[in-house]
Amino acid sequence: MLAFLGSAGMLVAVFGAGLLVWRGVAAARGDGAGDLIGAARVLIAGAVVAMGAMVIALLVDDFSLVYTANHHAAATPFPFNVATAWAALEGSIVLWGLVLAGYTWFVAARYRRSPDRLGAASLAVMGVVAIFFFGLMATVANPFEVCVEAAEIGCVESSWWPFAAADIPSDGPGPNPLLQNHLMMAIHPPILYLGYVGMTVPFAYAIGALALGVAGPEWLRRSHRSTVVAWSFLTLGILLGGWWAYEVLSWGGYWAWDPVENASLMPWLVATAFLHSGIVQQRRNMLQAWNLILVISTFSLTILGTFLTRSGTINSVHSFTQSAIGPALLGFLALTLVGSFLLFATRAEVVATSGRAKTFVSREGAFLINNLLLTIYAFVVLIGTTYPLILEAFTGTQVGVGEPFFNRLAVPLSFLLLLVMGFGPITPWGEAPPGLLWRRTRNPVVVALAVGLAAAALVTRNGWVVLSITLGVFVIGSIVGLLFEQAGKRVAKTDQRLGQAIRAVLTGDGAFWAGQLSHVGVVLVAIGIAFAANLGTHLEVDLEPGGSVEFEGYTIVYESPFQQSHPSKTTIGSRLSVLRGDRLVTIAEPAVNIFNDTAVPTPEVLHGPGGDFYITLLDIPSPESATLTLDTSPMIWVLWLGGLTTVAGGFLAMRARRHERRPAPEPRAIDV
Amino acid sequence: MSDGPHRNLERSMSERLRNVVTVTVVAVMAVTLVTLVVTDRSQPDRVQSIGQRIKCPVCQGESIANSPSAMARDMMDVVAEKVAAGETDDAIIDELLGSFSGAVLLDPPAAGSTLVLWLAPAIALMLGVVVIVWWRKHPTEHRPSPRPRARRIVPIALLAVAFGTIVVVAGSFLQDRAGPASGVAAIDTENLDDVSNETMKAVIAANAGHPEVDGMRLALAQRYFDANDYRLAFPHYLAVAQSPDATDTQAVTALVRLGWMAWDGNAEVETALELFDEALAIDEGSVTARYLKAQVLWCGAGDLDEAETLMQDILIDPDLPVDSREQVRREIEAIRAGTACK
Amino acid sequence: MSGRFLRWVGYGIAAIAVAFAVVLASRFGTDPGLVDSPLLGEPAPAFALSPLEGGEPVALEELKGDIVIVNFFASWCLQCRAEHAALTSTADAFAGQGVTLVQIGYQESPPASIDYLELAGRSESALYLADPGSRAAIAYGVFGIPETFFIDEEGIVVGKIIGESDALVLGATIDAIKRGERPGQSVTGDTSQRPED
């Protein structure tokens, strides 16, 4: 029954998508308005039914579905049983499809029926993407196949026919134990997908505009809100992923330049560039070629990312196993890239805009530099991730490219970006009048150096930390300075009090200041990472019961080992007393969870204003000894706070009252 | 106002003074800061920094410094030992690469095949700068030209070709890795020339009970038989003869050999004849069985009539190899003549 | 003018995309974890390990002149269990023929290995050694088990099998080495890296 529902849902979705493409193309050509919202409704109905069937199957332990049989276990507690829906390959594509259908419906709801060829063309493009994903679901990656030959656990053979005679296994293997350790499993993938999939919208608008041969900022303006939404969720998704990794995999685990992490970073970098660069096109009608290339790249990178993690061509902690999905995704990626850029090439005259930045010392110039830096950054991540593949394809030799390489290039780029972040917002559009920049930067520079000096003298002399603090204070100083400058002008002109003036300035250009808040967030992230990565300490120790060790001002006393049994796992742990001086801070119980045969460590984290103190149980080789590692991650909370601030900026920008963005042909002398 | 220009001059002078002071302060602070940082005496942990550059071989991409796995910790112990022994970073890494190969290096060297990796971003950056600068110098001339329909076909054709190429190439690479031929099933019992007796013994011992090992048994036993080592050949022939999975041909061969060894080795006529009859029960047309039975009847049992009948049956049997006919004919004549066999 | 430039940018990126896709496609069906051992053709790394039950360490040096088969195993490795009979029978078959089998425990405590061998069986002529601290495994660059190294009479590593071996492959490799050939590396299947695999 559920197999039938799920399969039917998929097919309905494919049908809806096809309908959308058909009507969208017709409307884009000018043959009437077309009932696109109707088609979008069919699409989302199918997607919801498919997802619903999957979730219900997981909740009621219906093992006749091959997906449940191979990935679910009856003992899995809520919410991990629901999260199993996207824990494995086929299910994650169902989730992708659902989110895509949601965005498509959202866009279709705003489709104005009177000739709106751009809207129709964009919806047609989204329909094509939906056909691919739902088609993938219905053919190669079908989770609703019925199990026709079962093993003790799991399914041996399956059939796509929903009414086939089912051979139901008594249980399934359950989701990967690493994925049952933390609530994030239920939250992180959907949020990340809201980000990834959302990038389809600006892409669709861009392709629609190219196909119709209409240039100009309209496609940008109409898709801007979706871009901001998608970017915010993508940022949040990456942040949550990092936090989850940190909690589960312990120290430094928030980012390891793992191929899947890179797969999410690349589109984020290019999307950030696109977000910024789009402003220039909306305000000054420039950089259209950049914007088109950036948005096509963003979408392509989301597909590439999916391909890299699903196809098994690269090893990663996230690896799903090889299957035919790899070639399908690669084919779609190639089609997207080649098709989009060929379209770009044929519409080249339309693409080229007339505006040119007069000088680099201008807002446009800053954005241009920003584009370049972010693109290079994404390029570095791309070649680092794919180089082992490429080299092996050509020469057969094997190389590893990991953290040292990425850090070496990413860190300088990040600092350059911080610098641009400080200068950019205080640089006016057009040409900066002489002395303006100096007036705006001299105070922030002085303050930044002073704080940096103080940090070097009092906290640490580590170069990276000091540099990040100095640059960070400079950026924040620039922003605050700008705010006060504008508020000051208001006070001078209108007699408002300063507080009121500040509020007025902030709400007057909400999107801009929301962006500045995100910049503050990025600064905090940089500072947090600098501290945690450079000033962390590490110690591995063997303790016997009653033994103790001193570390970073703490005293750890090993009390005793313990063991607990749960339905799906056994927990082996060690009970420790953590003291500071004579005062007992807490009883820590780092443990190792053993699911069937897999052992997953659950470290104990002590949070504090100075940072996190990490205790990981590695092994209890005998009742007389436990092997522990102790780590500190100083100031790591700054990283999480910064990440949340960055996301907050994005969400605030969504809600901000839109400042009128008409392309002005003649930039005014002082224009912020 | 009469003091306007004067006030302006004052303001610009104080402005300039302020600027000078600011620049001086900034310069002093900057220099101090840089000095403080550069003279930072904290020793980096060599073991950790080396460990960050080596990938843990049993993990997915983690370095041995960061991985909690036992193998990673053992490797860090090795690194720590070598650091304590005074080896340089590069020497330690080279040693590890010499054991594991370059695949465990997370930090690709700026040389050789990975030089591209370091150069590419720099080149991309320069390219980007060049493009931006060039772009600024060449403004767009708006010449909207109507695009003839024919020219639309070119990009679509290119697209189709490109996509087709990818599909074909991807498909051709999508072959399953053929599992390497190994194991008993892959043994080609006609081509065992290169395989030593010991290897065969090992295979048979490791696969006793496997239905396909009978062929190998026969091959090994044949070698012993040819070397006249009946004692070593016997257990293998017996195993094949008793094996429920042996093919008829194999069983017949084994029985026939056993019969011959019984006669030739132990002069056990009855046993030999029984074995030959067993073989003939499976395959009554077996030329070898009948021939050897005839031989035993002639030489052992002295039953010349039976022997002659069998030999004559064999002579007209189309399965008898042509070059053996002559010998069979001669032996028939010998039997008729009552000659004793050799 | 800039239109033409952009057109070429578009075509250029499309062409690069095709090349990139082809390169990625060529990696289908290959194992991203597979590496070639740099030890082939080199002198075998020395080791001196005690037997599982304890006692005087046995050095690789002492076995020079024989063909030495070094096999890394553990009780939790399914492929190792599957190939154990083949290794034992090969050791028996070639006993006294200048071939010595050395089995080294990988990431496992000696008592666990001893218990396992009790069930799985031993060969009289083979050596069963413990590897505390994984020194030998590291020296031999073991990525996962089972891995089996073949060292010729002069102490050079001439062969390596990754994955489960069988009597035919083992015997054929020994035969080849006796003839003076260098069989090189072959992959017969998957390896296990941790007990939970």
Over residues A651-661, the pLDDT tens digits come to 999 887 555 44
Question: Which site among A210, A313, A333 would you substitute to test the C interface, given the most C Cβ atoms closer than 10 Å to its Cβ?
Answer: A313
Nearest to A259 by CA among C24, C191, C18, B79: C24
Q: Which residues of chain C are within 8 Å of residue A343 when distances are taken between CB atoms?
A: 10
Q: Report whether pLDDT(A608) > 70.
A: yes
Task: Write the pLDDT tens digit of every residue in A69-103.
Answer: 888 888 788 888 888 888 887 888 999 999 999 99
Task: Write the pLDDT tens digit of every residue in B193-246.
Answer: 778 888 888 888 888 777 778 888 888 898 899 898 889 999 999 988 888 888
Q: Report whether pLDDT(A310) > 70.
A: no
Q: How many whole angstroms separate alpha carbon A354 and alpha carbon B84?
A: 65
> Between chains, do C188 and B182 touch, taking CB under 8 Å as contact?
yes
Q: Which residues of chain A are within 8 Å of residue B116 when distances are taken between CB atoms?
A: 387
Tell me if chain A has a CB within 8 Å of the CB of C8: yes
A430: region left, alpha or beta (phi > 0 left; psi from -120 to 50 alpha): left
Identify the band that residue C31 occupies on the pLDDT scale cut at 50, 70 and 90: low
Q: Which residues of chain B are within 8 Å of residue A331 when distances are taken between CB atoms?
A: 163, 166-167, 170
Tell me if chain A has a CB within 8 Å of the CB of B107: yes
Q: Kindly report the nearest CA distance between residue A175 and chain C, in angstroms.
A: 14
Q: Which residues of chain B are within 8 Å of residue C142 when distances are taken between CB atoms?
A: 57
- Of residues C122 and B177, more confidently modeled: C122
Measure CB to CB from residue C3 to each of A327, A349, A392 and give the nearest one: A349
- List the single residue in A with minimal CA-CA distance to B170: A327
Half-sphere exposure of A71 (CA within 13 A, CB side): 28
Q: Report whether pLDDT(A516) > 60.
A: yes
> Between chains, do B106 and A401 touch, taking CB under 8 Å as contact?
yes
| A 337-356 → C contacts, CB under 8 A | 337-338, 341-346, 348-349, 351-352
Q: Report whether pLDDT(A306) > 60.
A: yes
> Which CATH number applies to B210-336: 1.25.40.10, 2.60.120.10, 3.40.50.720, 3.20.20.150?
1.25.40.10
In this predicted structure, what is the pLDDT of residue A664? 40
In this predicted structure, what is the pLDDT of residue A68? 87
Measure CB to CB from residue B103 to each of C35, C92, C187 and give the nearest one: C35
> Between chains, do B32 and A453 touch, taking CB under 8 Å as contact?
yes
How many Cβ atoms sit within 10 Å of the Cβ of residue B21? 11
Identify the band that residue A378 occupies on the pLDDT scale cut at 50, 70 and 90: very high
Q: Which residues of chain A are within 8 Å of residue C4 when distances are taken between CB atoms?
A: 348
Subunits close to C (at least 3 CB pairs below 8 A): A, B
Q: Is B342 exposed, middle or buried (0-12, 13-18, 19+ CB in 10 A)?
A: exposed
ipTM of the complex: 0.86
Read off the pLDDT of each residue in A585-595 and give the average, rounded to a whole number: 84
Task: Write the pLDDT tens digit of every residue in A275-285.
Answer: 999 988 888 88
Read off the pLDDT of each residue in A590-595 and give the average, rounded to a whole number: 81
> Between chains, do B140 and C139 touch, taking CB under 8 Å as contact?
no
pLDDT above 90 as % of chain B? 14
Contact A547, A558 (CB under 8 A): yes
Tell me if chain C has a CB within 8 Å of the CB of B174: yes
Q: How many whole angstroms separate alpha carbon A211 and alpha carbon A205?
A: 10
Query: Which range has the top average pLDDT, A204-213, A340-349, C159-168?
Result: A204-213
| B 46-85 → A contacts, CB under 8 A | 48, 52-53, 55, 59-63, 66, 68, 70, 73
* Interface size, chain B vs chain C, as Cβ–Cβ contacts under 8 Å: 160
> Between chains, do A453 and B66 touch, taking CB under 8 Å as contact?
no
Contact A100, A17 (CB under 8 A): no
Task: Write the pLDDT tens digit of every residue in C135-177.
Answer: 999 999 998 889 999 999 999 999 999 888 888 888 888 988 9
> Between chains, do B141 and C171 touch, taking CB under 8 Å as contact?
no
Task: Write the pLDDT tens digit of every residue in A619-671.
Answer: 787 777 888 888 888 899 999 999 999 999 999 998 875 554 444 443 333 33
Question: Which site among A180, A318, A338 would you substitute to test the C interface, given the most C Cβ atoms closer than 10 Å to its Cβ?
Answer: A338
In this predicted structure, what is the pLDDT of residue B118? 85
* Interface size, chain A vs chain B, as Cβ–Cβ contacts under 8 Å: 173
Tell me if chain B has a CB within 8 Å of the CB of A434: no
Q: Kindly report the nearest CA distance between residue A116 and chain B, in angstroms.
A: 23
- List the single residue in B with minimal CA-CA distance to C39: B99
DSSP C2-70: HHHHHHHHHHHHHHHHHHHHHHHHHTTTS-TT----TTTTSBPPP-EE-BTT--SPEEGGGGBTBEEEE
- List the single residue in A with minimal CA-CA distance to B173: A327
Measure CB to CB from residue A337 to each of C6, C14, C35 and give the nearest one: C14
Q: Which residues of A589-665 form beta strands (DSSP E)?
A: 591-595, 598-602, 604-608, 611-622, 625-634
Q: Kindly report the nearest CA distance between residue A180 and chain C, in angstroms.
A: 16
Q: Kindly report the nearest CA distance between residue A251 and chain B, in angstroms.
A: 8
Q: How many whole angstroms separate alpha carbon A540 and alpha carbon A630?
A: 6
Q: Within chain A, what is the greatest distance between any pair of CA atoms?
A: 83
Tell me if chain A has a CB within 8 Å of the CB of C23: yes
pLDDT above 90 as % of chain A? 37
Q: Is the dihedral of CA A272, A277, A281, A287 positive or negative?
A: negative
Identify the band that residue A616 occupies on the pLDDT scale cut at 50, 70 and 90: confident
Task: Write the pLDDT tens digit of every residue in B103-148.
Answer: 888 888 777 777 888 888 889 999 888 888 877 777 666 555 555 5
> Between chains, do C6 and A311 touch, taking CB under 8 Å as contact?
no
- List the single residue in B with minimal CA-CA distance to A630: B68
- List the single residue in B with minimal CA-CA distance to C6: B135
Tell me if chain A has a CB within 8 Å of the CB of C78: no
> Between chains, do C169 and B182 touch, taking CB under 8 Å as contact?
yes
**What average pLDDT does chain A have?**
86
Q: Which residues of chain A are within 8 Å of residue B46 when distances are taken between CB atoms?
A: none
Q: Is A109 exposed, middle or buried (0-12, 13-18, 19+ CB in 10 A)?
A: exposed
pTM of the full predicted structure? 0.83
Read off the pLDDT of each residue in A479-502 and give the average, rounded to a whole number: 88
Task: Write the pLDDT tens digit of every residue in A380-415.
Answer: 999 998 888 888 777 777 778 888 889 889 999 999
> Between chains, do C29 and B78 touch, taking CB under 8 Å as contact?
no
Q: Which residues of chain C are within 8 Å of residue A337 when distances are taken between CB atoms?
A: 13-14, 17, 21
Q: Report whether pLDDT(A232) > 60.
A: yes
Q: Report whether pLDDT(A47) > 50.
A: yes
| A 574-603 → B contacts, CB under 8 A | 601
Q: How many whole angstroms separate alpha carbon A606 and alpha carbon A592?
A: 17
In this predicted structure, what is the pLDDT of residue A249? 66
Q: How many whole angstroms separate alpha carbon C139 and alpha carbon A455?
A: 45
Q: How many whole angstroms separate alpha carbon A131 and alpha carbon A255?
A: 34
> Between chains, do C195 and A293 touch, taking CB under 8 Å as contact?
no
- Of residues B70 and A197, more confidently modeled: A197
Nearest to C165 by CA among C156, C173, C176, C157: C173
Nearest to C57 by CA among C91, C100, C102, C112: C102
Q: Which of A49-63, A97-111, B41-55 has the lowest mean pLDDT?
A: B41-55
> Between chains, do C142 and B57 touch, taking CB under 8 Å as contact?
yes
Q: How many whole angstroms separate alpha carbon C25 and alpha carbon A338?
A: 16
Identify the band that residue B256 occupies on the pLDDT scale cut at 50, 70 and 90: very high
Contact A250, A264 (CB under 8 A): no
Read off the pLDDT of each residue in A531-559 and give the average, rounded to a whole number: 87
> Between chains, do B58 and C85 touch, taking CB under 8 Å as contact?
no
Task: Write the pLDDT tens digit of every residue in A575-588.
Answer: 898 888 888 888 98
Considering just the CA atoms, what is the radius of gyration of chain B in Å? 45
Q: Which two tokens stand for residue C162?
A: 């990754």
In this predicted structure, what is the pLDDT of residue B2? 52
**What average pLDDT does chain C have?**
87
| B 180-209 → C contacts, CB under 8 A | 180, 182-184, 186-187, 194-196, 198-207
> Between chains, do B170 and C25 touch, taking CB under 8 Å as contact?
yes
Give the torsion through C-alpha atoms of B25, B28, B33, B38, to 10 deg. 160
Q: Which residues of chain B are within 8 Å of residue A351 when distances are taken between CB atoms?
A: none
Q: Which two tokens stand for residue B291?
A: 């021939």
Task: Write the pLDDT tens digit of every residue in C47-96.
Answer: 999 999 989 999 999 999 999 999 999 988 888 998 998 999 999 999 88
In this predicted structure, what is the pLDDT of residue B139? 66
DSSP B157-202: HHHHHHHHHHHHHHHHH-PPPPPPP-SGGG--TT--TTS-HHHHHH
Q: Report whether pLDDT(A315) > 70.
A: no
Task: Write the pLDDT tens digit of every residue in A125-155.
Answer: 999 999 999 998 888 888 888 888 887 777 8
> Between chains, do C14 and A341 touch, taking CB under 8 Å as contact?
yes
According to the 3-state scheme, what is the secondary structure of B67-120?
CCCHHHHHHHHHHHHHHHCCCCHHHHHHHHHHHHCHHHECCCCCCHHHHHHHHH
Q: A65 has which bridge partners? A: A146
Read off the pLDDT of each residue in A356-377 and give the average, rounded to a whole number: 88
Size of chain C in residues: 197
Q: CATH 1.25.40.10 occupies which residues in chain B? A: 210-336
> Between chains, do C10 and A342 touch, taking CB under 8 Å as contact?
yes
Q: Report whether pLDDT(A33) > 90.
A: no
Task: Write the pLDDT tens digit of every residue in B139-188.
Answer: 666 555 555 555 566 666 777 777 777 666 656 655 443 334 445 555 55
Q: Which residues of chain A are within 8 Å of residue C14 when distances are taken between CB atoms?
A: 337-338, 341-342, 345
- List the single residue in A with minimal CA-CA distance to B28: A449
In this predicted structure, what is the pLDDT of residue B191? 63
Read off the pLDDT of each residue in A48-69 and give the average, rounded to a whole number: 90
Q: Which of A140-144, B98-102, B211-215, B304-308 has the lowest mean pLDDT?
A: B211-215
In degrees rounded to 5, what are phi and psi of residue B256?
-65, -45
Tell me if chain C has a CB within 8 Å of the CB of B136: no
